[in-house]
């Protein structure tokens, strides 16, 4: 995702990349590593040093939950606008981030998925939920993904009124065969090479099945949403959980 963001920003006239931070590829030029040619931006592994030297207006964090827990106080210290694509945070942690951001009057977007099609999938699932008696969610990702279920799957379920769904129970001959349970909804996580990020929400009703599915075939699918979020947090210092509020889908 870091390389994809660098490639995207290199094409945008209203953004300039001023710093790059990672624990890998330290010292390499971020542009060369991302395939856009030299940008004169070496990758550093000291976040505070990067922010102090480059003084960015907005920062993107696409790390993992453990790293974000350390990074977030640094972002607040340097009063950064933030676009966060890191998943694996608890709801309590997200609410804590919201409280800090609102208290400090900073701009922040936390989104489990930046693909606009995925946001629409979640929205359509929310619209369909009241009309069906049962639902299950299946999400598919590459095997390097650290958390399961995905943040997108959890947010999809959170957006649906799941109090009325039936939850058939049967004997599992293999433990976990029926997936996990979150807020009364079965959720299944697939991790296989070849997948990027995919999800289907399957509703069942009398004599019918409705499947709402989204597929991200490459990480470039996330970039329009990332750019939308970057521009929004720069102009509006407030907290957004997901792109729904930015897209007017709430």
Q: What is the per-residue pLDDT across 184-219, written as a single tens digit (0 to 9) for each?
A: 999 999 999 999 999 999 999 999 999 999 999 999
Distance in angstroms (rounded) separating the CA atoms of residues 230 and 119: 17
221, 115 contact by CB (below 8 A)? yes
Across the chain, mean pLDDT equals 93
User: Would you place residue 161 in the very low, low, confident or very high pLDDT band (cuts 50, 70, 90)?
Assistant: confident
The CA–CA distances, whole Å, from 13 to 9, 31, 141, 166, 236 equal 8, 16, 32, 51, 20
- CA 95 to chain centroid: 16
Respond yes or no: is residue 141 known to be catalytic.
Answer: yes
Respond yes or no: is residue 145 known to be catalytic.
Answer: yes
What pTM did the predictor assign? 0.87
Which position among 70, 77, 141, 142 bears the catalytic label? 141
- pLDDT, mean of residues 221-243: 93
pLDDT at 86: 87
pLDDT of residue 250 exceeding 80, the answer is no
Which position among 64, 70, 145, 198 bears the catalytic label? 145
- 200-213 as b/e, with b when 16 or more CB fall inside 10 Å? bbbbbeeeeeeebe
């Amino acid at each position: 995702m870091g390389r994809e963001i660098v490639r995207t920003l290199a094409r945008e006239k209203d953004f300039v990349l001023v710093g790059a931070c990672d624990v890998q590829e330290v010292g390499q030029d971020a542009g060369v590593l991302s395939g856009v040619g030299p940008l004169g931006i070496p990758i550093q592994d000291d976040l505070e040093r990067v922010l102090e030297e480059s003084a960015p207006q907005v920062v993107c964090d696409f790390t993992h939950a453990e790293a974000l827990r350390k990074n977030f106080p640094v972002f607040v210290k340097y009063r950064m606008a933030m676009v966060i694509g890191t998943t694996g945070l608890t709801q309590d942690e997200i609410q804590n981030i919201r409280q800090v951001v609102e208290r400090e009057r900073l701009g922040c977007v936390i989104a489990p998925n930046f693909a606009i099609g995925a946001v629409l999938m979640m929205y359509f699932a929310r619209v369909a939920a009241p009309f069906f008696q049962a639902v299950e969610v299946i999400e598919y990702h590459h095997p390097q993904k650290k958390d399961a279920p995905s943040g997108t799957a959890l947010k999809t379920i959170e957006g649906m009124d799941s109090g009325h769904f039936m939850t058939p129970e049967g004997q599992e001959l293999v433990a976990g065969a029926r997936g996990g349970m979150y807020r009364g909804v079965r959720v299944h996580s697939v991790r296989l090479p070849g997948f990027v990020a995919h999800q289907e929400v399957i509703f069942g009703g009398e004599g019918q099945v409705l499947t709402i599915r989204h597929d991200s075939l490459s990480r470039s699918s996330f970039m329009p949403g990332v750019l939308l979020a970057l521009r929004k947090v720069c102009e509006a210092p407030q907290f957004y959980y997901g792109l729904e509020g930015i897209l007017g889908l709430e």
